[in-house]
Amino acid sequence: MSGLAIYRTPIAQEWIDYNGHVRDAYYGLIASLAVDTLMDRLGMDARYRKESGCTLYTVEMHTHFLREIGVNDSVEVQLRILDADKIRIHAMLELVCDGRTETSATCEVMLLHVRQIPTVRTAPFPEPIAAAIADLRRATASMPASGPGSRRMELVPR
Amino acid sequence: MSGLAIYRTPIAQEWIDYNGHVRDAYYGLIASLAVDTLMDRLGMDARYRKESGCTLYTVEMHTHFLREIGVNDSVEVQLRILDADKIRIHAMLELVCDGRTETSATCEVMLLHVRQIPTVRTAPFPEPIAAAIADLRRATASMPASGPGSRRMELVPR
């Protein structure tokens, strides 16, 4: 267990590509849907978004594709809040297939709280949401990583 | 122009999320579809994949979401081959919306050539494909970047 389980999904047939496995971008979709669940959990649900005009924007995402995911797999997303400040959440999402111990992918994201109206601008988290983020960070930040995080890509001899 | 234009797509309605713009994961899908076009251009098309049992796997992807993309946008993907070796291609894909000068996203990828049969193993590029990669690298590697590349994510005061 390398994070709090926050989302589960089976694999949709249309996520499979000509290589016979889940296309790279759909790993990102699974992580993105898990972030929606995270928003609900932290109080940034549809009602909050509508009433406040605020939401989260993803500003950066780094995915390591560690193992293939097939059409018969079911994926659990495990979350760690690595860091946070008044406007940002830095989180790690790990995709783990049922029945396997190894992580299939790690997906690190930087999320930014913005108010969309009248124009998109960063906005500080309201106090109850900031407290919920802090709680979740305390509960998850020190859970062990099961795969690599973001880094500068480069070709090194192998 | 910060790369060779290799792919164009309009925005599908189903890529739009509750924030009114293209969901983060679908930026990755656009980049992924552009990589398919790259494979065709380099000779790793469906016929090659079928006859050789070889294909490209994405092992790493880092996306910077710089600007929102809306349902009425049309996106061009511009490619640079940053580096390559016997089995890997390190590439940058930039997403540019028609009528705008600024890049909407940068998506850096590491692609690995594998043979899937009988079990997935890395395989060197055949000579004609290696030559095509080298040609494209020479033509694009020094084209200017219009956005940031992969890096270790961290919260720095802002």
DSSP B76-112: EEEEEEEEE-SSEEEEEEEEEETT-SSEEEEEEEEEE
Residue type, B102: E
Q: Tokens for A125?
A: 């988290």
Instruction: Tell if the CB–CB gap between A18 and B59 is shorter than 8 Å.
Output: no
**pLDDT tens per residue, range B7-31:** 999 999 999 999 999 999 999 999 9
Give dist(CA B91, CA B140) in Å, integer: 10
State which residues of chain A have pLDDT below 50: none
Report CA A152 to chain centroid distance, whole Å. 20
Instruction: Tell if the CB–CB gap between A59 and B64 is shorter than 8 Å.
Output: yes
Instruction: Tell if the CB–CB gap between A62 and B150 is shorter than 8 Å.
Output: yes
Q: Tokens for A136?
A: 């979740």
pLDDT level of residue B158 (50, 70, 90 thresholds): low
Residue type, B26: Y
**pLDDT tens per residue, range B55-69:** 999 999 999 999 999
Which of B7, B29, B52, B60 to substitute to test the interface with A, most A CBs within 10 Å? B60
Give dist(CA A107, CA B58) in Å, integer: 14
Q: Tokens for B2?
A: 């910060």
| pTM, two decimal places | 0.97
Closest CA in chain B for residue A27 = B25
Greatest Cα-to-Cα distance within chain B, rounded to the nearest angstrom: 53
**pLDDT at B142 (0 to 100):** 95
Residue A43: phi, psi to the nearest 5? Answer: 95, 10
User: At A24, is the secondary structure helix, strand, or coil?
Assistant: helix
- B-proximal residues of A, 72-131, CB under 8 Å: 83-85, 88, 90, 108, 110, 116, 120
Instruction: Tell if the CB–CB gap between B61 and A58 is shorter than 8 Å.
Output: no
* pLDDT > 70 fraction of chain A, expressed in percent and rounded: 99
Q: Which of B24, B88, B155 sits opposite A155 (nearest CB)?
A: B88
Q: Chain A partners of B154 at a C-beta cutoff of 8 Å?
A: 83, 90
